[in-house]
Amino acid sequence: MSKFITFEGCEGAGKSAQIRYLAEYLDQKGIKYITTREPGGTPEAEKIRSLILDPHAEMSGECEVMLYAAARADHLKNKIIPALESGINVICDRYIDSSYAYQAYARGLGFETVQKANFLAEARMPDVTVFLDLPPEQAFVRKGGADKDDRMEMEGLAFHRRVYEGYLALCDRFPQRIVRIECSGEREKTRSLVLAALTDRGII
């Protein structure tokens, strides 16, 4: 059975590197997969992505949550579900937990509102979610500061602290699905922890 694996964490936690490592591991094993990302992953969802991340946009939190959900709906229907149904594993950089951490917790829209907007994604939750645990204070140092072309990254440290606390709350709420990986050490060490966690759970 193909698996749906998502990666979550604060900006700069090292998701891209860990996704690359996992992809290399699956290549060696000859296991089929695709990698994809949110917001985005399909041509239409990528257009919505530019709208959401535009640093000049001044949108309400409600509009923001609906746009992320709209992009997700397209991504799910046109890319994630077709891959899973044809026996291909899906590795996704961010998914619904980003909406919970950023919109529900950090923006303060609340869990219920975000859940309602994401009813389609709620029907296809990941088999496992890897949360790369690195507090924003350390993550921004690792990243070398915020990206000025990205509206979400331009939010201050207090916002990203709330995102991080949101993720910790999600780990408590979904202990079966979310694996928390402490990743302040070397990338190679995190790589071993991620692969071990996925192997232990029978995911890969």
164: burial class by Cβ within 10 Å (0-12, 13-18, 19+)? buried
Report residue 123: phi and psi, to 5°.
-80, -10
Min CB(152)–ligand TYD separation in Å:
3
**Which tokens hold the place of 14?**
């090292």
Q: Measured between alpha carbons, how far is 105 from 170 in angstroms, rounded to an integer?
A: 10
99 interacts with ligand TYD by CB under 6 A: yes
Min dist CB 99 to ligand TYD, Å, is 4
Q: Which residue in the set 5, 45, 121, 152 belongs to the binding site for ligand TYD (CB under 6 A)?
A: 152
- Token pair listed for 35: 């990698």
Question: Please, what's the largest Cα pairwise distance for the chain?
Answer: 46
Query: Nearer to ligand TYD by C-beta: 33 or 140?
Result: 140
Give how many residues touch ligand TYD by CB under 6 A. 14
Answer for which of 21, 22, 39, 128 binds ligand TYD (CB under 6 A) is: 39
State yes or no: residue 153 binds ligand TYD (CB under 6 A): yes
SS3 150: coil
Name the segment binding ligand TYD (CB under 6 A); options: 17-25, 97-105, 184-192, 193-201.
Answer: 97-105
Within 8 A by CB and 6+ apart from 28, the residues are: none
Range 59-88, binding ligand TYD (CB under 6 A):
68
Q: Give residues 132-151 in contact with ligand TYD (rule: CB under 6 A).
A: 150
Question: Interface residues with ligand TYD (CB under 6 A)?
Answer: 11, 15, 38-39, 68, 93-94, 98-99, 102-103, 150, 152-153
